[in-house]
Amino acid sequence: MAELPLDCLTCGACCREGSDGRILVPAQDLVRWRRAGREDLIAALQPGHFGEQAFATTPEGACVHLGTPDQPNACRIYPLRGTTCREFEVGSWQCLEYRRQHGITA
Ligand code: SF4
Ligand code: SF4
């Protein structure tokens, strides 16, 4: 029997791995957001590691765009989410490690 894919909406661990400056935002995202008229997303960034920009985080270390009123693990800017977010692979070793760190074992 094929394994079920991991359900990100019951997890959100990778979006809670922020601690300031860790979820990097490459320059191509700034171009994309400007074209979409979302200068507000650019204004909300903060300095990240390696001289890059990054998503700002809450005091708890979660990305400021995480969570909707109905779904605490949903991304509020999902169609415009960052390249780092798009390229993060569900089920990768890093995904599994983040889940483990957040006590999500199922
Ligand atoms: S850690 Fe993995 S399963 Fe959890 S939200 Fe991120 S990609 Fe999805
Ligand atoms: S932009 Fe969305 S997908 Fe990316 S880290 Fe923030 S909440 Fe998660």
Q: Secondary structure of the chain in the HEC alphabet?
A: CCCCCCCHHHCCHHHHCCCCCCCEECHHHHHHHHHCCCHHHHHCEEECHHHCEEECECCCCCECCECCCCCCCCECCHHHCCHHHHHCCCCCHHHHHHHHHCCCCC
Taking the whole predicted model, whether its pTM rises above 0.95 is answered as: no
> What is the number of structural domains in the chain?
1
For a mutational test of ligand 2's pocket, the pick from 19, 55, 88, i.e. the residue with the most ligand atoms closer than 8 A to its C-beta, is 55
Residue 3: inside a domain:
no
The pLDDT-based confidence of 1 (bands split at 50, 70, 90) is very low
Distance 3 CA to ligand 2 centre (A): 25
Mean per-residue pLDDT, 18-33: 87
Q: Does the residue 19 lie in any domain?
A: yes
Report the nearest-CA residue for atom 6 of ligand 1.
14
Domain range for 56: 8-101
User: What pLDDT score does 31 carry?
Assistant: 97
